[in-house]
Chain A
Amino acid sequence: MRDRRLPMTVIGGFLGAGKTTLINQLLRQPQGQRLMVLVNDFGAINIDAALIESAGADMLSLTNGCVCCTMGGDLFMAIADVLDRHPRPDHLLVEASGVADPQKIANAAVAEPEMRNGGIVSVIDGENGSALLDDPQIADQVRGQISCANLIYVSKGKPGTEFLTTLKEIVPNAGFAHTAAEVTAFTELGQDLSVRVEKNAPHPAYVQWSATDDAQFDAKGLRQALMNRPTGILRIKGFVRGAGATGWLVQGVGRSIDITSIPQPQETQLLAIGLKENLNTENCHTWWRDALRRHDELSLED
């Protein structure tokens, strides 16, 4: 089963943080999907000639299926253009401008029924990033860009302990990624809703947890259960049995959760990933077991 909505991941971060470098790397990664990237500035995209299939004034097609476009004067209308493309890409990456609030862009994917929120990756300059937080003219804006992140990608060296502590204070639930491959792994999960572990061996930096059972939920109960999920979970997806002919498609990123009704699935299946350092899969087992038990109890009371 596939989720046909276009997932959108926002790459945020202040000017000079290293967003373009990350995007250059992401475009070079072997992709299992047709990735489309909307960038502010085409000039800075620097791809080996061997990888380029065709290049136009505002579009670059790569041999690995990726497409890179400039967004022009209006980001949201550029996203609308992507939705009108045939065929649609499998995944949309948007480079937020260096002063944008990435959350305000990600909200578009929550609002648009043909899209889903693929999360926010904020890029932080490990060496110079802390100085931005000390500059009274821009600190608040930078802090805002960090606080909405699901995944922090550290570019340019390692942040010091003090800076790392500050970052974790600003955004306690975010994971930290150190390579482009880890960012790709974060964006990839979600298209194919199959949760079989062997099909989805995660990137070595991640751990994953899955469950398959015949549990049934109503929308409210399911939302409640998912709201309580362990904080180390970066992404969660799957489908859950409901009552009668209706079941639920679940897509969660960070602390946000999206529940959509679908035809009743055969069984309830969930898959979650998180970074090794943040997620203990034992906690996932415990959480889901408790969720099922609490739900059963509530159902009995009814």
Chain B
Amino acid sequence: MNKVTLFQARRIVTMDAFQPHATHVAVQNGKIVAVGDAQCADRWGQDVVRDDRLRDAVLMPGFVEGHAHLMAGGIWRYTYVGYHDRIDPDSRAWPGLTSALEVTDRLRAQHSLLPAEQPLVAWGFDPVFLKGERLNRHHLDQVSPDRPIAVLFSNLHLMCVNSAALALVGYGIETLVEGVVKDADDFPTGELQEMAAMFPLMRRLGVDFRNLAQTEDSLHAFGRLAVQAGVTTMTDLFSTLTDDDLTLMQDVTSAQDYPLRIVPVLGATGGLPEEIAARVKTLAEHNSDKLRFGAVKLLTDGSIQGWTARVRAPGYVGGQPNGLWNIPPAQIHDLCDVMQREGIQMHLHANGDEASEVCIDAIEAALRKHPAPVDHRHVIQHGQMMDEAQFRRCAELGMVVNLFANHLWYFGDQHVALTIGDERANRMDACRSALDSGLVLAIHSDAPVTPLGPLFTAWCAVNRQTMTGRVLGQEQRLTVAEALYALTLGAAKTLKMEHEVGSITVGKIADFAVLGKDPEQVAPEALCDIPVLGTVASGKVFLT
């Protein structure tokens, strides 16, 4: 029999209703064998190794991030120039930048570090938060007139480049290309909008979004980000999985020191529903401890802040046309029909309330035809504009929801002013209504769209504060206990993994978040300030 390790902590918040708190947890072969006090492991014989490295820390179940993307790791190969503070996978803090001047200062510092032949690429830029002149090629030319520079906007639909980069493609005064923005003298400003205008430059700079996800470096960076955030189980929620990708993921995650359980959810695209179902079943044959296939993702509409989400009347407050379907309603119905028939769990991206309505309709229709499996647990992802009526239908149909709580802070003010107005913004990401309707609830970051950090996500759901300090719909606030449940067992349930992770319970995997303070004992406003010291994944300790 392998040795038993007994971890001692200042306090353990187990999230297990039968034994909510403890001070010790014993682990064998990566599984929890005992929870309790200093004597809890005694019955496992003399062969107990005491590990007191965590004695000053507070342990919680490893957090479960139910909606993130592998790119959250890979994007860090580029220089971060966003407005909000972020921490990279190597634990380096990158303070947010508040003006074009600060952006060029940071780029200049990076410029001095790069080999001469390498282009300088940055990411995370968002002019909506900046005052003063809009970033243009003149700013970037001051960083370097020779080295091509490209600054990707946080939405990845736009970029701003310098004159050297414009010259690489030959964009100039004679260029008449949609998306190449011109100044008063008819010369390109440096801003390129949408992929068609961006891609000639991207191919010349070697920027390929495909390489940000399925590479060895990205997978390792993803793992390090998880450790920093206290996350031990995380989705890659729209995976494109070639056979090569599968081999790579197996190689990386099977290493003893890989700290993360990845749940790659196959994007339902590029094939008939039957073919997608067959593919995900084949993938699931390769499941291992740290790699869990079996679900598919349907990307139904766009985003609210991009005015591409499909919303019901009265639509967008600025009179913008309704959004775009990535999968039109008839096809959503076809996919739901086949996936439910084949017993495959679906994660349905639906930002706008028309999209969530169509998803619920489609699942109801599929359930009428194929009542089994009863515990299908299809998940509405984002569900940002869902109301009580939709939640109630979800509950009756056996569905669950994963709401985008981080949006309240990052985009809440924009939603009030520009997209859907006060009334609907106040009930966005209506966590309270979801719980009151009897639903299983998870909350998420959608990293790298917003930074990975479950305690911050919990803070958003508890405080519902925007960047300007406004509270959006305080009636929809969660209690701290409810928010912590959403980060652990709630999210685990949306992945059908609550029998393995989500609480510190005998028999489950020994996945813990290692915290500097006790989330149950700090003020609700201070949830986001709790230091994360690392994780324990399958019994192995990873400290930042």
A contact residues vs B (CB 8 Å cutoff): 14-15, 40-44, 57, 70-74, 76-77, 79-80, 83, 98-99, 104-108, 110-113, 137-138, 140-141, 219
> What distance in Å separates the Cβ of B315 from its nearest Cβ neighbour in chain A?
12
Residues facing A in B164-213 (CB within 8 A) are: 169-170, 174, 176-180, 194-197, 199-200, 202-203, 208-210
Chain B residues whose C-beta falls within 8 Å of the C-beta of A104 in the assembled complex: 194-196
Given contacts A72-B240, A74-B209, A107-B177, contact A99 B324 (CB under 8 A): yes
Q: Are B196 and A15 in contact (CB under 8 A)?
A: no
Q: Are A77 and B209 in contact (CB under 8 A)?
A: yes
Chain B residues whose C-beta falls within 8 Å of the C-beta of A83 in the assembled complex: 203
> What distance in Å separates the Cβ of A244 from its nearest Cβ neighbour in chain B?
17
- 19 residue pairs of the A-B complex, CB under 8 angstroms, read A15-B328, A41-B271, A72-B240, A72-B270, A73-B269, A74-B208, A98-B328, A99-B327, A104-B194, A105-B196, A107-B177, A108-B200, A111-B180, A111-B196, A112-B169, A137-B310, A137-B329, A140-B322, A141-B325
**How many Å lie between the Cα of A106 and that of B199 in the bound state?**
12
Select from chain B the residue with minimum beta-carbon distance to A71.
B270
Residues facing A in B118-169 (CB within 8 A) are: 169
Whether a CB of chain A sits under 8 angstroms from the CB of B272 is: yes
Chain B residues whose C-beta falls within 8 Å of the C-beta of A74 in the assembled complex: 208-210
Chain B residues whose C-beta falls within 8 Å of the C-beta of A111 in the assembled complex: 169, 177, 179-180, 196-197, 199-200
**How many Å lie between the Cα of A57 and that of B200 in the bound state?**
28
Q: Are B240 and A141 in contact (CB under 8 A)?
A: no
**How many Å lie between the Cα of A57 and that of B196 in the bound state?**
28
Given contacts A43-B275, A104-B196, A137-B354, contact A99 B179 (CB under 8 A): no
Whether a CB of chain A sits under 8 angstroms from the CB of B109 is: no
Whether a CB of chain A sits under 8 angstroms from the CB of B321 is: yes
Query: What band does the interface of chain B fall in when counting residues whose beta carbon is under 8 Å from A?
Result: 35 or more
Q: Are A107 and B271 in contact (CB under 8 A)?
A: no
Q: Are B199 and A80 in contact (CB under 8 A)?
A: yes
Interface centre among B174, B179, B199, B322 (most CB of A within 10 A): B199
> Which of A98, A108, A219 has a CB less than 8 Å from the CB of B199?
A108
Q: Are B196 and A99 in contact (CB under 8 A)?
A: no
Chain A residues whose C-beta falls within 8 Å of the C-beta of B169 in the assembled complex: 111-113
Q: Are A79 and B321 in contact (CB under 8 A)?
A: no
Given contacts A70-B270, A80-B203, contact A110 B195 (CB under 8 A): no
Select from chain B the residue with minimum beta-carbon distance to A103.
B178
**How many Å lie between the Cα of A80 and that of B202 in the bound state?**
9
Chain B residues whose C-beta falls within 8 Å of the C-beta of A141 in the assembled complex: 324-325, 328
Given contacts A111-B180, A113-B169, A137-B358, contact A76 B195 (CB under 8 A): yes
Chain B residues whose C-beta falls within 8 Å of the C-beta of A113 in the assembled complex: 169-170, 200
Select from chain A the residue with minimum beta-carbon distance to B213.
A73
> What distance in Å separates the Cβ of A255 from its nearest Cβ neighbour in chain B?
13
Whether a CB of chain A sits under 8 angstroms from the CB of B331 is: yes
Chain A residues whose C-beta falls within 8 Å of the C-beta of B324 in the assembled complex: 99, 141
Q: Are A73 and B210 in contact (CB under 8 A)?
A: yes
Q: Are A108 and B196 in contact (CB under 8 A)?
A: yes
Whether a CB of chain A sits under 8 angstroms from the CB of B116 is: no
**How many Å lie between the Cα of A241 and that of B188 in the bound state?**
28
